[in-house]
């Protein structure tokens, strides 16, 4: 049985806590590895390594730090296929989807390679008589990231790439469900020239998380996961004087106007709703057709598409999606289908009984489609995080606009229409952080920021883009005057620039 420990001080180390968890092969249901859960002393060892390594890393000039990331890009590209297979084997997403996971992470690494430009401060010459003002962006010190199972390559890179580029040391606590890719990325960073101790990986559970949250040497923490845990990490981290950014759950709506290209809308809903078995924070889980005719046509077109989804082992190149990550998660998603039926929603496609011959022990589930879902139902209010799409019929545009705007989550939303005025009005007025116009999964590119509103995001700064540099640095402002030989005497009033 393969044993997965931690990555501390530039190398893999065995766990010493005596506690561990199972890493499954979602295709078969078999346990393929054991991952150690770090105790407080192991996390403190990682923090100590980071604290010792960070000052010298911060003195490396920005372009040389960027060269490490350039080399890391080269090494990841060299191992791209193997990393995708490894990711797929633990998560269950298809190989093409796994490659997308890695690629979207690398795009943020590419953005971070431009750190010499991004760290430039501001300068004001002669702000007063002989006085210059300038600002410096300096690293925070030791920072940490707590990342989810659904993007085991992308989200860690979103966190550590800008943090390292800014001169910080980083501690990664990845998901214990699929830890192998984050461990390998850490090794590749060291191979790329990152000094030992600047990046450490600790696997574990709440004990590891709480240690990072309460240790005063950790200056900032980023998190992606469920909203309940995001709120806990945000409140606990802030109470301990840390800078914190947390991204939680989602209930992403896609509004379909009567003038939309219906075939395009159906393609978008099927891909965004069922890709990666719905295990995406940006998955579309609610379709909002406007008007009865639009709703009837949309549902009629969706039913055969959902019924014909190809669900297969994650290694099958023809699969639309593979298994879910664990049996516990599979059972939770199935329980939501039971709830929806009891609540009175119309289950048009039922994927609960799906079985794949030869993979009966795998965590597979067919696509599910609900119609006539109402905002009062749990399946509308709560994040299901599975291959389940709910159709909520809206009588008119204003009702469709209110649904995502009034939902407690505000991660992403989309509208499909041919009308530019409608699209512009929707993008301006909808109370959601990321908006797609005829684009179902509106994940911004690396040089813009990613982040939701309401219970989808806690904290003032988003992920990647300019906000990442702001989050991982502190600003120091210097007011400078060189003596000119004039003796002005003591001043007892606040300085001004008259």
Mean pLDDT, residues 368-386 taken together: 98
pLDDT recorded at residue 222: 97
Mean pLDDT, residues 200-205 taken together: 98
Q: Could you tell me the pLDDT band of residue 139, with boundaries at 50, 70 and 90?
A: very high
pLDDT above 90 for 110: yes
Residue 149, token pair as written in the block: 């199972």
3-state SS, residue 194: coil
Contact between residue 253 and residue 288 where contact means Cβ atoms under 8 Å apart? yes
Residue 332, token pair as written in the block: 């939770």
Phi and psi of 250, rounded to 5°? -155, 155
Bridge partners (DSSP) listed for residue 388: 368
DSSP state of 275: G
Residue 187, token pair as written in the block: 């090794």
pLDDT above 80 for 86: yes
pLDDT recorded at residue 487: 64
Q: Which of 113, 246, 281, 368 is catalytic?
A: 281
Distance in angstroms (rounded) separating the CA atoms of residues 372 and 309: 22
281 among known catalytic residues: yes
Angle, helix 154-165 to helix 180-191, in steps of 10 degrees = 30
Q: Could you tell me the pLDDT band of residue 454, with boundaries at 50, 70 and 90?
A: very high
CA angle 160, 161, 167 (to 5 degrees): 85
End-to-end CA distance of the chain: 74
pLDDT above 90 for 360: yes
Bridge partners (DSSP) listed for residue 169: 142
Per-residue burial over 42-56, b if 16 or more Cβ lie within 10 Å, else e, is bbbbbbbbbbebbee
Distance in angstroms (rounded) separating the CA atoms of residues 78 and 68: 15
Exposed, middle or buried: residue 278 (CB in 10 Å: 0-12, 13-18, 19+)? buried
Nearest of 122, 195, 186, 113 to residue 156 by alpha carbon: 186
Q: Tokens 């301990």 identify what position?
A: 240
Q: Tokens 């606990």 identify what position?
A: 236
- The 3-state DSSP composition of the chain as helix, strand, coil percent (nearest 5) reads 40, 25, 35
Tell me the domains of the chain and their CATH numbers: 2-248+456-478 (3.40.605.10), 252-437 (3.40.309.10)
Nearest of 55, 96, 498, 17 to residue 276 by alpha carbon: 96
Contact between residue 274 and residue 361 where contact means Cβ atoms under 8 Å apart? no
Confidence (pTM): 0.94
Residue 375, token pair as written in the block: 């905002």
Q: Could you tell me the pLDDT band of residue 494, with boundaries at 50, 70 and 90?
A: confident
Distance in angstroms (rounded) separating the CA atoms of residues 167 and 51: 12
Distance in angstroms (rounded) separating the CA atoms of residues 104 and 157: 9
Kindly give, in sequence order, each residue whose CB lies less than 8 Å from that of residue 81, ignoring residues fewer than 6 positions away: none
Residues of the chain with pLDDT > 70, as a percent, come to 99
Distance in angstroms (rounded) separating the CA atoms of residues 7 and 196: 10
Kindly give, in sequence order, each residue whose CB lies less than 8 Å from that of residue 488, ignoring residues fewer than 6 positions away: none
Residue 111, token pair as written in the block: 């953005």
Residue 232, token pair as written in the block: 């806990």
Nearest of 159, 122, 157 to residue 137 by alpha carbon: 122
Mean pLDDT, residues 193-200 taken together: 98
Phi and psi of 307, rounded to 5°? -65, -30
Q: Return mean pLDDT, the chain.
A: 96
Nearest of 219, 212, 217, 198 to residue 58 by alpha carbon: 198
pLDDT recorded at residue 495: 73
Q: Tokens 């046509």 identify what position?
A: 297
pLDDT above 70 for 485: no
């Amino acid at each position: 049985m393969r044993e997965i420990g931690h990555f501390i001080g530039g190398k893999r180390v065995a766990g010493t806590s005596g506690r561990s968890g199972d890493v499954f092969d979602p295709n078969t249901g078999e346990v393929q590895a054991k991952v150690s859960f770090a105790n407080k002393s192991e996390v403190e060892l990682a923090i100590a390594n980071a604290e010792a390594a960070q000052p010298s890393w911060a003195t490396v000039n920005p372009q040389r730090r960027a060269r490490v990331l350039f080399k890391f890009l080269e090494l990841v590209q060299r191992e791209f296929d193997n990393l995708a297979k490894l990711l797929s084997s633990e998560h269950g997403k298809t190989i093409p989807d796994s490659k997308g996971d890695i690629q979207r992470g690398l795009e943020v690494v590419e953005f971070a390679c431009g750190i010499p430009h991004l760290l430039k401060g501001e300068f004001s010459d002669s702000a007063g008589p002989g006085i210059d003002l300038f600002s410096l962006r300096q690293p925070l010190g030791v920072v940490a990231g707590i990342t989810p199972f659904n993007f085991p390559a992308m989200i860690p890179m979103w966190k550590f790439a800008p943090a390292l580029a800014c001169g910080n040391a980083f501690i990664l606590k990845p998901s214990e469900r699929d830890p192998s890719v984050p461990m390998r990325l850490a090794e590749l960073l060291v191979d790329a020239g990152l000094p030992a101790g600047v990046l450490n990986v600790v696997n574990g559970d709440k004990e590891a998380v709480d240690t990072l949250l309460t240790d005063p040497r950790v200056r900032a923490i980023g998190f992606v996961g469920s909203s309940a845990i995001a709120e806990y990490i945000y409140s606990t981290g802030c109470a301990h004087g840390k800078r914190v950014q947390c991204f939680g759950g989602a209930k992403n709506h896609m509004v379909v106007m009567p003038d939309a290209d219906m075939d395009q809308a159906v393609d978008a809903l099927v891909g965004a709703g069922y890709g990666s078995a719905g295990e995406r924070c940006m998955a579309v889980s609610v379709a909002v057709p406007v008007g009865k005719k639009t709703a009837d046509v949309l549902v009629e077109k969706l039913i055969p598409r959902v019924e014909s989804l190809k669900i297969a082992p994650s290694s099958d190149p023809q699969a639309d999606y593979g298994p879910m990550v664990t049996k516990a998660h599979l059972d939770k998603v199935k329980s939501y289908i039971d709830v929806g039926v009891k609540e009175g929603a119309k289950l048009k496609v039922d994927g609960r009984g799906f079985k794949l011959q030869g993979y009966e022990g795998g965590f597979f589930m067919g696509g599910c489609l609900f119609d006539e879902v109402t905002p009062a139902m749990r399946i509308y209010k709560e994040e299901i995080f599975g291959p389940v799409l709910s159709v909520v019929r809206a009588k008119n545009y204003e009702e469709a606009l209110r649904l995502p705007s009034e939902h407690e989550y505000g991660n992403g939303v989309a509208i499909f229409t041919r009308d530019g005025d409608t699209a512009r009005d929707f993008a301006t007025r909808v109370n959601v952080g990321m908006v797609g116009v005829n684009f179902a999964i509106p994940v911004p590119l690396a040089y813009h920021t990613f982040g939701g509103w309401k219970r989808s995001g806690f904290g003032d700064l988003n992920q990647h883009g300019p906000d990442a540099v702001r989050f991982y640095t502190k600003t120091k402002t210097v007011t400078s005057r060189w003596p000119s030989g004039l003796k002005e005497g003591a001043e007892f009033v606040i300085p001004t620039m008259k």
